[in-house]
A = this chain, B = another copy of it.
């Protein structure tokens, strides 16, 4: 039997359809959800990313505020910009485009974003609150992976998920989110001994390693579900699609898998933030 192709564009479209309705409703209450993006420096790829995020905002009837800062911005200056956006009641979500120039303390900048505006799920506090299920916004790529799982009704409870990679914005949070959904979770990484054997036990593989075609079909258990969050130059995933496809029962293509859902999750979180912040204003 051919595997199910997990179509990220379709999942993204269904989220956007819901968001359009919600944004309309919020606007009737005179709230327009607004995402602020901060880009430091002139990286072309990063410029494209923030542009895409702003465009999607506008298509959904949301507002965006784009802050461009020069390459030579100091940590202190960046923190001040973030603090101003934290204070600005018209801004519901804040995204600091990764990576920032290397002289800036990116972690400190991330952790300066107010928890209730951390729609990209990058703060340490947000990671803890997501893990403890306290209602914070999770990182968008892990959230996209869970959204795809839910959209296709894939069963994960009790199943063995192997996450390959342990970054603060992908491997670690997706592990905690799968754990909270009752999967048994193994987190593997560059120091893992005998990775192919570890992967061969997975019912669900999450590839988050950042190496093109790294995971081979021959490592997979027959019928494994493959979610590839890798996005390497040339639109190439972390999984070798050609050999993984025939072994899997469901698989995300690259491009067109996890990627398109990620931006939708960012906007979904921003709309939720607008609703929550509005509710807290009403209560005060």
Contact = CB atoms under 8 A, between A and B. Distances in A.
Contacts of A175: 187
A100 interface: no
A15 interface: no
A113 to B, nearest CB: 13
Interface stretch (A6-14, A123-131, A207-215, A237-245): A123-131
Interface stretch (A47-55, A71-79, A177-185, A217-225): A177-185
Interface residues of A, number: 34
16 contacts: A111-B134, A124-B129, A126-B128, A128-B129, A128-B131, A131-B131, A131-B172, A158-B191, A172-B179, A179-B187, A182-B189, A184-B186, A184-B189, A184-B192, A185-B186, A201-B201
Contacts of A193: 158-160, 184
A168 B124 contact: no
Given A107-B132, A107-B134, A158-B193, 17 more contacts: A123-B128, A124-B128, A127-B127, A128-B129, A131-B131, A131-B168, A157-B191, A158-B192, A160-B198, A166-B179, A172-B176, A179-B189, A182-B189, A184-B187, A184-B189, A185-B186, A201-B201
A179 B171 CA distance: 11
A126 B176 CA distance: 16
A188 interface: yes
Contacts of A131: 124, 127-128, 131, 168, 172
Contact of A187 (B123, B157, B185, B201): B185
